[in-house]
């Protein structure tokens, strides 16, 4: 996470220190497209020299006109001027100024085009890099609110900082222009450069201060900003529309959004007013310096030390220099401020997962020979006070169908997360065929497990793709998709859709068809079969099915899991009784285990819960 000094950004040193982010940022820009980056640099270098060329040609034009005006026997008509040859040099100068003006316009448009293409490429590249890095991080990270804030800030930087790229290139271009203009001023009155810098320093420091304040405000408000986005999405989305309307939540959500947005506005308004006030004062100081210099140049022209052309060139150079230096100094402050935001992106890239594959991973056994063994396993969620599971010991034998039952909070889903290495135990270990689960390659381990959780994702994709996500690399294998759909009985659902497997499901996109909860669950279960994995796990994915439909799904599940190791979790005891063995979990450990009949005979928690549920059907 960013350090407190980054958040407060209270000192000039800290703001300048943030410039360290520019090197990796520019490296990222170059790596995205060396051709476009080199092109924009070359084009800007050419543009940088055009202002001084324009001013100098303008000086020559004015001096030439003044000289022609003072001729003793001036021609009278245009034809006489042309025949005399006096206009030849002036004509060449005018043509040169016209050519420079056209070149400036053309180069400006080309630079805008190249910058736009490069910015889009960089935005795409950084977004892809962010997604790729996020995919390597642990589930524990995504379940942490501070990480969510950091991810949100990083996500905004993948597009929000693309203006920084153009600004950096513009700053470099302006530096070349400043150097060329300053060279002209140094020849005539070098102390004017010093005057200009002194007049502009207050504006630079003020801008740097308020950029840092703006970042601190934005950083500190990240949780509220996420809440603002959440409330806006909740108030107007297809997923929440029914409940919002039924409960009449529109007013509540709109009021909450308005209060949050007003709070943001007030904080930004206070900062903007202070920034505008001080900015106006500092700009006035710069204006006073400019007109003092302008008066000095005019006086030296009156004394005959400068020509009228010199006056035009120096006044124009000084005015352009003032504008460019103001832009450079405030731009430097802005760059430093934006570099603070880049901390959000690059600090996110520095997060490293704790769960990863070993250097020399074991190959996942196919088939599994012995099974899984939990040896005194304990796990506590970060920030929690109570262990989710502790002293958890049991064996999941190869080729066995095991059901997990227990009240809410007993540790059933946590057990599945540990089995799939979404988490690693804090105590004890889990063995697979006698080797620690952490000795196996992470991707191969998870790729060998077909898991469907109760809170499965409803992808707004065609029906075939909704199943294919279970083994997305086999997306083109329609036979495999159809086979998986048949096993989960999702083929009956898809058969009723207008376009079958090509039908878009979900209402987010045009022509999408919404499914019932039970139909969605059959689609989701098909994903587990799509994997054709060694281990199948269903974690209460049939809650929206009626008792008969769930029984049929689990009966089919047992038949299709022959020769595979399988785990199923359900609150319906009529369904879990078909398992080879049932584990009863309570307070994070195995309280009892056996077949349905054996557990009923023990007259323990299982029998009590079974009788309570059975009574509801009598």
Is pLDDT larger for residue 615 or for residue 507?
Answer: 507
Q: Give the separation between CA 111 and CA 397, rounded to whole angstroms.
A: 66
Q: What is the pLDDT of residues 330-365, one digit of tens each?
A: 667 667 767 777 877 888 888 888 888 898 999 999
b/e per residue 112-132 (b: at least 16 CB within 10 A): eebbeebbebbbebbeebbee
Cis before 367 (ω within 30): yes
CB 495 within 8 A of CB 436: no
- For residue 320, give both structure tokens: 């352009």
Q: Domains (ranges, CATH) in the chain?
A: 7-349 (1.20.1560.10), 370-448+534-618 (3.40.50.300), 461-532 (no CATH)
Say how far apart CA 126 and CA 368 lie, in whole Å: 41
pLDDT at residue 188, as a whole number: 63
Distance separating alpha carbons of residues 172 and 474, to the nearest angstrom: 49
Give tens-digit pLDDT for 80-111.
777 777 788 888 988 998 999 999 899 989 99
Q: What share of the chain is helix, strand, coil (3-state, %, to 5)?
A: 65, 10, 25
Q: What is the pTM of this model?
A: 0.67
Q: Which of 26-30, 245-249, 258-262 has the lowest average pLDDT?
A: 245-249
Residue 190 pLDDT > 90: no
pLDDT at 421: 92
Torsion-angle region of 39 (φ positive above 0: left; ψ -120 to 50: alpha; else: beta): alpha
Please determine, for residue 481, whether its predicted confidence score (pLDDT) is greater than 90.
yes
Residue 423 phi/psi, 5-degree rounding, is: -135, 155
pLDDT at residue 208 in the model? 63
- Round to whole Å and give the CA distance between 339 and 19: 6
Please check the confidence at residue 277 and state whether its pLDDT lies above 70: yes
Provide CB contacts within 8 A for 404, sequence distance 6+.
412, 415, 567, 568, 569, 582, 583, 585
Chain mean pLDDT for the chain = 81
Among 121-130, 372-381, 445-454, 609-618, whose mean pLDDT is lowest?
Answer: 609-618
pLDDT surpassing 60 at residue 4: no
371-379/389-397 β-pairing: antiparallel
Between CA 561 and CA 198 the distance in angstroms is 80
Q: Per residue in 401-422, pLDDT tens?
A: 899 988 888 888 899 999 999 9
What are 514-551's pLDDT values in tens digits?
888 888 888 988 988 898 888 988 887 666 666 677 77
- The pLDDT of 156-175, averaged and rounded, is 77
Three-class SS of 328-355? HHHHHHHHHHHHHHHHHHHHHHCCCCCC
């Amino acid at each position: 996470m960013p350090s407190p000094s980054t958040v407060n950004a209270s000192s000039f040193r800290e703001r300048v220190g943030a410039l360290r982010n520019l090197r990796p940022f520019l490296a990222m820009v170059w790596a995205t497209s060396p051709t476009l980056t080199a092109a924009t640099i070359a084009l800007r270098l050419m543009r940088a020299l055009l202002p001084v060329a324009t001013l100098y040609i303008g000086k020559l034009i004015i001096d030439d006109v003044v000289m022609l005006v003072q001729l003793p026997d001036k021609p009278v008509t245009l034809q006489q001027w042309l025949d005399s040859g006096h206009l030849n040099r002036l004509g060449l100068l005018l043509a040169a100024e016209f050519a420079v003006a056209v070149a400036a316009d053309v180069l400006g448009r080309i630079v805008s085009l190249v910058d736009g293409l490069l910015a889009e490429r960089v935005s795409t590249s950084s977004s892809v890099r962010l997604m790729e890095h996020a995919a390597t991080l642990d589930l524990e990270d995504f379940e942490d609110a501070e990480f969510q804030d950091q991810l949100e800030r990083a996500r905004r930087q993948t597009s929000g900082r693309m203006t920084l790229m153009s600004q950096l290139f513009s700053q470099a271009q302006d530096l070349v222009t400043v150097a060329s203009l300053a060279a002209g001023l140094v020849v005539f009155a070098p102390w004017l450069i010093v005057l200009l810098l002194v007049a502009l320093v207050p504006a630079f420091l003020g801008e740097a201060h308020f950029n840092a304040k703006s970042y601190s405000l934005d950083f500190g408000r990240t949780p509220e900003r996420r809440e603002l986005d959440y409330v806006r999405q909740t108030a107007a989305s297809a997923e929440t529309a029914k409940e919002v309307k039924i409960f009449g939540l529109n007013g509540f959500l709109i009021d909450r959004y308005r209060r949050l947005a007003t709070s943001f506005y007030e904080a930004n308004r206070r900062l903007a007013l202070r920034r505008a006030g001080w900015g106006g004062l500092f700009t006035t100081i710069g204006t006073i310096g400019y007109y003092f210099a302008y008066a000095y140049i005019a006086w030296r022209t009156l004394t005959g030390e400068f020509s009228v052309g010199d006056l035009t060139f120096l006044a124009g150079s000084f005015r352009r220099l003032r504008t460019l230096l103001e832009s450079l100094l405030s731009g430097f402050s802005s760059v430093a401020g934006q570099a603070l935001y880049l901390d959000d992106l690059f600090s996110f890239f520095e997060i490293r997962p704790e769960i990863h594959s070993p250097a020399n991973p074991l190959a996942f056994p196919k088939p599994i020979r012995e099974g899984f063994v939990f040896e005194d396993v304990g796990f506590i969620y970060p920030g929690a006070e109570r262990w989710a599971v502790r002293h958890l010991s049991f064996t999941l034998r190869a080729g066995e169908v095991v059901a997990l039952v227990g009240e809410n909070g007993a540790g059933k889903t946590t057990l599945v997360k540990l089995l799939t290495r979404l988490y690693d135990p804090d105590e004890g270990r889990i063995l697979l065929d006698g080797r620690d689960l952490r000795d196996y390659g992470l991707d191969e381990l998870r790729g060998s497990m077909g898991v469907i959780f109760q809170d499965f994702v409803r992808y707004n994709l065609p029906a075939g793709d909704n199943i294919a996500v279970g083994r997305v690399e086999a997306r083109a294998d329609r036979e495999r998709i159809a086979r998986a759909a048949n096993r989960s009985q999702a083929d009956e659902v898809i058969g009723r859709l207008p376009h079958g497997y090509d039908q878009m499901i979900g209402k987010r996109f045009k022509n999408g068809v919404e499914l019932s909860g039970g139909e969605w669950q059959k689609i989701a279960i098909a994903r587990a079969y799509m994997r054709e994995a060694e281990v199948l796990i269903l974690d209460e994915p049939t809650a929206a099915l009626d008792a008969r439909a769930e029984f049929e799904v689990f009966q089919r599940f047992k038949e299709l899991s022959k020769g595979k190791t399988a785990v199923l979790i359900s609150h319906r005891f009529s369904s879990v009784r078909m398992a080879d063995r049932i584990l009863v979990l309570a307070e994070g450990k195995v309280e009892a285990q056996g077949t349905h009949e054996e557990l009923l005979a023990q007259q323990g928690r299982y029998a009590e819960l079974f009788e309570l549920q059975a009574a509801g059907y009598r």
